Amino acid sequence: MPSFIQLSDTHIVPEGQLAYGKSDTAAALSEAVETVNAVLSRLDPIDCAIITGDLTDFGTRAEYERLKGIMSRLNLPYMAIPGNHDSREVMRAAFADQDWMPDSGPIQWSRDFGDFTLIALDTLVEGQHHGMLCPEGFAFLDAALGAAQGQPVVVATHHPWMHSGVIAMDINNLRNGAALLERLEAYSGPVRMISGHVHRTMTTQIGRVTCQIAPAPCHAVHLSHMPDSVNSLIMEPGGVTLWQWQDSPQPGLASNVIPVGRFAGPWPFYEA
């Protein structure tokens, strides 16, 4: 069954630094790579991995090279879209040898997995923390939805439109998400939207579209709904998301958030 791993918000910083002075994001990504490699040996084959934005913290060439060095240990090919912490042209140059990377314009691509199509869109507005889908993004989406012909689609963006309740994050969400969701609502087949940016696992239903935000392998955004709370990071356990097509009991795509790290066990529930 087709499947992929979603990594998000890896926030790699230059060698010798911690993100925000607190978070060893390179160590967290290394641990995530080890976690994924370990589960690969006991799961049905996985096609690839994707990174849904904020690959780096400052969008520098050195950070992308550091990310690529860590990701080279992953036993899967991977593709990526930018987030608000990325720099589109630096990212393009870093992955110029990859067939999914466009030569110019938004960093967007689609992949046909057979049972579903993954459409990955670029919502980066350079120099801003909020997201917007540009006219080329809508045109790419329209063409990809047309090509999918009613088959299930998964639309990936860095910025979600759904709200998290964390005010500082929600004001920097996908500002024109309503126009995107309107198109997805009009699509003739099943649709999901998957995103990052919030560093927390959350799911909601908007109309007929199931929307899910992925965790980061590193720090999380502190969960607080208080209007006066300072937007903060917290070292909650990191995670990666396995997206796996299932034929039964009905065809559909299941998500499974896998915590990053090594844990005691497994032990048989009962001794033989």
- Binding residues for Fe ion (CB under 5 A): 9, 54, 83-84, 197
Give the whole-angstrom CA distance, residue 6 versus residue 78.
9
* Helices and strands of the chain, counted as H and E runs: 6, 13
Q: Output the DSSP codes for 200-268.
A: S-EEEEETTEEEEEPPPSS-EE-----TTPPP-EE-PPPEEEEEEEE-SSSSEEEEEEEESS--S----
State which residue, 11 or 187, has the beta carbon closest to Fe ion: 11
Nearer to Fe ion, 54 or 63 (CB): 54
Nearest residue (CB) to Fe ion, 192 versus 197 = 197
Chain Cα centroid distance, residue 217? 11
- Pick 83 or 239: Cβ nearer Fe ion: 83
How many residues belong to the chain? 272
H/E run at residue 118: strand 117-120
